[in-house]
């Protein structure tokens, strides 16, 4: 069901975000704010070797300190818990919260010290003596493909977690038919989302009730399932409290190993136990790094710049354990051709283990690196054909009238109007003027370049990549839910069944329910029950909540409205279809009779004798929503991935001093179309924040390991997050192409900006240095890389001049 | 050891370990959990408090070093329970946050800026919050919030008929024409401005 935008009362209105009030007052409720009576604290003993056999652990000096309660080793833990889940069918890649027998990356936790305070636990951790026998290690993905490389998990037999070749369409024929080909390699550096709040968890076991209470800074689908499985207790003995504000996540707050560890300790010690990562633990061993990926791309195209076919090989360095990370090679299959009409694709997805920290889900789940590879291809084709980069994209775009559009890998894109968005952006930015400005900057002695990126944000996350990459996995639903009650005095309460990390889900739920019931959103209470009182949710991943939580709230509110109408119509003696609902009251247009909200609620709560036959008393409804369009298991390596596809188009102008090499973003414009916007403030914030995150990925952020396997960037002084100085004022050009698959025409926006910014910035820098005959093919492009490359190119040029 | 300090206008004392940071003391000994630990090495600014009115990292200062100082935390910003200051309300108006974790530090940094400058331009706002990392917003709506708060503070309690004063512009209402009030009233308008919240 799709309603025209003009009919909306609250949807798309510039209303405040209700969560903000508590945050500006410092009254958020974060995991570090939870302090239980008798609570103990944990600090970790970390391995300093990238790979080593653990010979012995001597905790006696630590345990001798007053206030130290326990030192837990991996060996004990492995005897008490089951191994953590892998996404792929790789049972011999065994992962426990602490290293068992062998460490697999520098920083991996070897033992956990429990004490009366965190400071004391840290003191004691330094007194734990571990004897190691160093083993051979590796850090590079390409090395891991070599069967002779030192195995991170010898029982697994190799370092290869995944190697799948997909061919969608007639790739060989299309390559043979195409007059022109080009090939290139680009590399996406290992970065992550690095929230300002580190991960934290509190667990409290009650042996008299057989209940494990958990409070965590979590954004994780099926979190309770994994805790219960690993701890070997029923899921209904795990109660996760979801009224905990999460201080940023953008994908990575999965904390499963932390939770299993702390849950075990709480049961072992019969005390509440809290672990809060410090920044070092977060960056080095929180298992929250993002994709690190090499792309080898070949494209086949014609003289007009039309790309007919693409071969892409993506080799991802997953780090020391598998987890869910390899799926980040699967999700981009749902938008593997970007916004373009590429007719056939060959895609090889490879994921390998190395002795680096473990990967976790990062904003976009692999889509931003893939978009960077696709957009680099588009720039290179434009250059090869002598075309303007915008024109090259326009020629390849899917046209508005071609939607819904089936791409070769099996996903049907819902809707879009890419050409119009591009026209609006070019008009806003004055593209000819921008080109002239770039040339003026160049004439003044600076290097200057324009970057262009067009890409999609698949949204409404299902989990179709799971069965696609793991045949034992038969997941075809990734539901979400809402419950609405109207109490006796007539007040409305909506429940949502997940934590949030800044996405404004309380505002979303209130807005949607108010829209359907035509009542004031500010009078609707939104609460988060704990997991045992909750309906199914798969948490805010995959840009899904506007679609899935919004959709569930919409359908639940429709059910509630239908019940209100049925009760009133029964009093009027008319059919419900003949009654009219308006702003909470129901009337009979024929007789003019009318029942107000309070009257109908009163009947539902107190007058069973007035209810229509077979009607439950009270006003409580639930709705569990299936992801639109996702109904089937994959067939022939094809599957319908996410239902909705938002579009973004970036234009950026960068100037830099050729000697200093520091990029300065002079202009940043993004055209953004995520269908019907439910709250403009929230969508704007996601987009601007995503761009800032993308600027970090493109220019600043990388987890760098040296040849000794040691992480060099493990504080905010060497892993640089963009500050207000690095992020320019961004101009947003809006467009709305409603999705036919959602209740209001909305699409997702939680990853917007981030999905195209790295590609756009890379394009701008390459445009800036093109005349020097150099190009950057690896992100991040840091200042020293620019100044070094420019200096070398200039030296070469002047040498050539001299010798000529 | 014993520390005596003023927090949000109230004299407080606590017995703390010498190595305890002001951040940990505020959170654990004074139950003021609005001050957040982000990096604990002085970069991210989530732990920002005002010390004698100036923004400082509470993670880089020992509690005992704060002895005798006047500390303002985010809990000292709201004028009354459930009410917001002009700056806090401006952050809500522009949605200058998402997850809220850096927000207390941002609000305090904004407060310190607007206490010394009533019409900061974009560059001044960017500079004032450059020591506070926000991972959610990309700063755009935070900059808007601070500019909006500055405007509201400048124009608060301005008498009717008097246009919001502009820096460097004469304080004369162009609509008043012949009836333009005398200099005394304009001085009253100026005198009213601090009631908007600036000390």
Residue A184 domain-assigned?
Answer: no
The predicted structure's pLDDT at residue B182: 44
Same domain for A778 and A654: yes
Last residue of a domain, one of A602, A625, A648: A625
> The tokens 């910003």 sit on which residue?
B77
The answer to whether residue A716 neighbours chain B at the CB level (below 8 Å) is yes
The predicted structure's pLDDT at residue B156: 86
Residue A183 domain-assigned?
Answer: no
Give residues with Cβ within 8 angstroms of A708, minimum separation 6: A50
* Of residues B20, B28, B91, nearest to A20 (C-beta): B91
* Confidence grade of residue B196 (pLDDT, cut at 50, 70, 90): very low
Residue A343 domain-assigned?
Answer: yes
Give residues with Cβ within 8 angstroms of A415, minimum separation 6: A403, A404, A645, A675, A737, A738, A739, A740
pLDDT above 80 (res B109):
yes
Run of H or E including A703: none
Same domain for A606 and A489: yes
Residue A716 domain-assigned?
Answer: yes
Q: Name the residue among A453, A589, A583 with its Cα closest to residue A518.
A: A583
Interchain pair A247, B99: CB under 8 A: yes
pLDDT above 50 (res B190):
no
Q: Which residue stretches of A194-307 are H helix?
A: 223-231, 256-269, 279-285
Inter-chain contacts counted by CB atoms under 8 A, chains A and B? 184
Interchain pair A196, B100: CB under 8 A: no
Q: List % helix, strand, coil for chain A (3-state, nearest 5).
A: 35, 25, 40
The predicted structure's pLDDT at residue A323: 87
Last residue of a domain, one of A625, A658, A680: A625
CA angle A553–A583–A525, rounded 5-degree value: 45
Pairing of strands A619-625, A594-595: unpaired
Residues of chain A positioned with their CB less than 8 A from the CB of B127: 724-725
The answer to whether residue B3 neighbours chain A at the CB level (below 8 Å) is no
Residue A159 domain-assigned?
Answer: no
Q: List % helix, strand, coil for chain B (3-state, nearest 5).
A: 40, 15, 50
Interface of B with A in 112-151 (CB under 8 A): 122, 126-127, 129-143
Same domain for A734 and A666: yes
Pairing of strands A211-216, A160-168: unpaired
What is the mean pLDDT of the segment spanning B3-18?
97
pLDDT digit string, tens, across residues B73-91: 999 999 999 999 999 999 9
A250-261 burial by CB neighbour count: b if 16+ within 10 A, else e? bbbbbbbbbbbb
Each as own residue / partner, the long-range contacts of residues A604-609 (CB below 8 Å, 24 or more positions apart, any chain) are A604/A486, A604/A563, A604/A564, A604/A567, A605/A487, A605/A488, A606/A488
Interchain pair A502, B130: CB under 8 A: no
Same domain for A561 and A591: yes
Same domain for A264 and A217: yes
Residues of chain A positioned with their CB less than 8 A from the CB of B142: 724
The rounded distance, in Å, linking the Cα atoms of A412 and A168 is 14
Residue A592 domain-assigned?
Answer: yes
Number of domain units in chain A: 3
For residue A22, give the chain B residue with the closest CA: B100
Tell me: ipTM over 0.85: yes
Residue A170 domain-assigned?
Answer: no
Torsion angle in degrees (nearest 10) through CA of A440, A444, A446, A448: 0
* Of residues B98, B107, B139, nearest to A502 (C-beta): B98
Residues of chain B positioned with their CB less than 8 A from the CB of A682: 95
Interface test with B, best of A15, A35, A247 (most B CBs within 10 A): A247
Interface of A with B in 351-410 (CB under 8 A): none
Which CATH number goes with the domain that contains A495? 3.30.365.10
Interface of B with A in 78-107 (CB under 8 A): 78, 84, 88-89, 91-95, 97-104, 107
Interchain pair B141, A685: CB under 8 A: yes
* Of residues B34, B102, B138, nearest to A691 (C-beta): B138
pLDDT digit string, tens, across residues A543-596: 999 999 999 999 999 999 999 999 999 999 999 999 999 999 999 999 999 999
Residue A62 domain-assigned?
Answer: yes
Q: How far is CA A633 from the centre of its chain?
A: 23
Domain B86-155 has CATH 3.90.1150.10: no
pLDDT above 60 (res B193):
no
Residues of chain B positioned with their CB less than 8 A from the CB of A22: 100
Instruction: Answer for the pair A241, A215: CB distance below 8 angstroms, yes or no.
Output: yes
The rounded distance, in Å, linking the Cα atoms of B48 and B71 is 11
The rounded distance, in Å, linking the Cα atoms of A585 and A583 is 6
The rounded distance, in Å, linking the Cα atoms of B37 and B46 is 6
* Of residues B75, B122, B130, nearest to A26 (C-beta): B75
Interchain pair A24, B88: CB under 8 A: yes
* Confidence grade of residue B157 (pLDDT, cut at 50, 70, 90): confident
Determine whether B36 is exposed, middle or buried from the number of CB atoms within 10 Å of its CB (0-12, 13-18, 19+): buried
Give residues with Cβ within 8 angstroms of A10, minimum separation 6: A511, A514, A515, A521
CATH code of domain B2-76: 3.10.20.30
For residue A199, give the chain B residue with the closest CA: B38
Q: Is the dihedral of CA A87, A89, A91, A94 positive or negative?
A: negative
Three-state SS for A500? coil
* Of residues A16, A24, A197, nearest to B107 (C-beta): A24
Interchain pair A195, B44: CB under 8 A: no
Question: Is the peptide bond preceding residue A80 cis, with omega within 30 degrees of 0?
Answer: no
Interchain pair B33, A22: CB under 8 A: no
Residue ranges covered by each domain of chain B: 2-76, 86-155
The answer to whether residue A251 neighbours chain B at the CB level (below 8 Å) is no
Range of the domain at A527: 5-27+479-625
For residue B87, give the chain A residue with the closest CA: A24
Residues in chain A, pLDDT under 50: 1-3, 5
Interchain pair A24, B103: CB under 8 A: yes
Residues of chain A positioned with their CB less than 8 A from the CB of B35: 26
Same domain for A792 and A683: yes
């Amino acid at each position: 069901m799709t309603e025209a935008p003009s009919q909306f009362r609250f949807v798309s209105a510039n209303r405040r975000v209700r969560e903000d009030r508590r945050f500006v007052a410092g009254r958020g409720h974060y995991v570090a704010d939870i302090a239980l009576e008798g609570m103990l604290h944990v600090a970790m003993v970390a391995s300093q070797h990238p790979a080593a056999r653990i010979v012995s652990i001597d905790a006696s000096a630590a345990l001798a300190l007053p206030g130290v309660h326990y030192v837990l080793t991996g060996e004990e833990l492995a005897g008490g818990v089951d191994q953590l889940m892998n996404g792929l069918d790789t049972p011999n890649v065994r992962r426990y919260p602490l290293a068992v027998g062998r460490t697999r990356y520098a920083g991996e936790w070897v033992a956990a010290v429990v004490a009366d305070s965190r400071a004391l636990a840290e003191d004691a951790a330094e007194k734990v003596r571990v004897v190691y026998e160093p083993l051979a290690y590796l850090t590079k993905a390409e090395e891991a493909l070599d069967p002779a490389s030192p195995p991170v998990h010898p029982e697994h037999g190799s370092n290869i977690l995944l190697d799948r070749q997909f061919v969608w369409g007639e790739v060989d024929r299309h390559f043979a038919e195409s007059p022109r080909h080009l090939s290139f390699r680009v590399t996406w550096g290992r970065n992550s989302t690095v929230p300002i709040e580190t991960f934290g968890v509190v667990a409290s076991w009650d042996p008299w009730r057989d209940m494990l209470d958990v409070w965590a800074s979590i954004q994780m689908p099926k979190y309770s399932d994994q805790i219960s499985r690993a701890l070997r207790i029923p899921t209904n003995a795990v109660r996760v409290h979801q009224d905990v504000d999460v201080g940023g996540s953008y994908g990575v707050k999965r904390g499963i190993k932390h939770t299993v560890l702390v849950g075990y300790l709480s049961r072992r010690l019969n005390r509440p136990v809290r672990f809060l990562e410090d920044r070092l633990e977060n960056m080095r061993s929180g298992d929250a790094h993002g994709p690190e990926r090499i792309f080898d791309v070949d494209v086949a195209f014609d003289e007009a710049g039309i790309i007919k076919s693409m071969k892409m090989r993506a080799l991802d360095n997953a780090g020391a354990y598998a987890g869910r990370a390899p799926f980040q090679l699967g999700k981009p299959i749902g938008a593997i051709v970007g916004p373009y009409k590429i007719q056939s694709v060959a895609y090889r997805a490879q994921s390998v283990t190395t002795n680096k920290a473990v990967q976790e889900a990062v904003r976009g789940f692999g889509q931003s690196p893939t978009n960077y590879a696709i957009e680099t291809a588009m720039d290179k084709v434009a250059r090869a054909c002598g075309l303007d980069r915008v024109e090259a994209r326009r020629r390849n775009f899917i046209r508005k009238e071609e939607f819904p559009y089936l791409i070769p890998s099996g996903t049907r894109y819902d809707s879009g109007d890419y050409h119009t968005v591009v026209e609006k952006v070019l008009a806003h930015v004055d593209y000819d003027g921008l080109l002239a400005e770039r040339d003026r900057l160049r004439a003044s002695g600076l290097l200057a370049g324009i970057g262009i990126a067009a890409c999609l944000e698949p949204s409404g996350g299902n989990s179709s990549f799971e069965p696609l990459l793991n045949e034992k996995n038969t997941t075809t639903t990734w539901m979400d839910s809402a419950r609405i009650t109207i109490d006796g005095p007539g007040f409305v309460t909506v429940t949502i069944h997940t934590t949030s990390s800044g996405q404004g889900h309380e505002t979303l739920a209130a807005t949607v329910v108010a829209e359907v019931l035509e009542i004031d959103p500010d009078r609707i209470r939104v609460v988060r029950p704990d997991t045992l009182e909750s309906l199914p949710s798969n948490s805010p991943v995959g840009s899904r909540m506007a679609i899935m939580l919004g959709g569930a709230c919409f359908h639940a509110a429709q059910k509630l409205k239908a019940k209100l109408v049925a009760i009133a119509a029964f009093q009027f003696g008319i059919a419900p279809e003949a009654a009219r609902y308006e702003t909470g009251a129901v009337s009979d247009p024929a007789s003019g009779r009318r029942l107000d909200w309070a009257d109908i609620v009163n009947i539902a709560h107190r007058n069973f004798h007035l209810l229509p036959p077979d009607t439950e008393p009270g006003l409580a409804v639930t709705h569990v929503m299936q992801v639109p369009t996702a109904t089937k298991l994959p067939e022939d390596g094809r599957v319908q991935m996410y239902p909705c596809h938002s579009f973004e188009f970036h234009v950026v102008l960068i100037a830099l001093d050729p000697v200093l090499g520091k990029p300065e973003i002079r202009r940043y414009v993004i055209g953004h179309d995520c269908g019907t916007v439910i709250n403009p403030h929230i969508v704007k914030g996601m987009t601007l924040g995503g761009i800032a995150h993308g600027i970090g990925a493109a220019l600043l952020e990388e987890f760098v390991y040296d040849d000794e396997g040691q992480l060099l960037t493990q504080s905010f002084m060497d892993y640089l997050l963009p500050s207000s100085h690095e992020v320019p004022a961004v101009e947003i050009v809006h467009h709305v192409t409603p999705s036919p698959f959602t209740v209001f025409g909305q699409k997702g926006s939680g990853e917007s900006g981030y999905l195209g910014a790295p590609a756009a910035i890379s394009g701008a820098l390459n445009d800036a240095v093109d005349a020097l005959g150099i190009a950057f093919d690896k992100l991040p492009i840091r200042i020293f890389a620019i100044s070094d490359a420019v200096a070398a190119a200039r030296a070469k040029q002047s040498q050539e001049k001299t010798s000529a | 050891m014993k520390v005596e300090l003023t927090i949000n206008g109230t004299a407080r004392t606590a017995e703390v370990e010498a190595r305890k940071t002001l951040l940990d003391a505020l959170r654990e000994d004074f139950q003021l959990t609005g001050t957040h630990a982000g990096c604990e090495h002085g970069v991210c600014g989530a732990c920002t408090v005002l010390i004698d009115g100036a923004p400082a990292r509470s993670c880089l200062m020992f509690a005992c070093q704060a002895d005798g100082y006047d500390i303002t935390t985010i809990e000292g910003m709201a004028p009354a329970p459930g009410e917001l200051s002009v700056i806090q309300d401006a952050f809500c108006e522009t949605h200058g946050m998402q997850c809220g974790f850096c927000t207390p530090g941002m609000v305090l940094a904004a407060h310190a800026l607007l206490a010394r400058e009533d019409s900061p331009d974009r560059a001044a706002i960017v500079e004032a919050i450059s020591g506070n990392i926000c991972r959610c917003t990309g700063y755009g709506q935070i900059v808007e919030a601070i500019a909006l708060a500055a405007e509201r503070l400048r124009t608060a309690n301005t008498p009717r008929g008097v246009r919001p004063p502009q820096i460097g512009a004469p304080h004369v209402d162009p609509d008043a024409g012949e009836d333009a009030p005398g200099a005394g009233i304009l001085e009253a308008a100026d005198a009213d401005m601090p009631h908007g919240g600036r000390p």
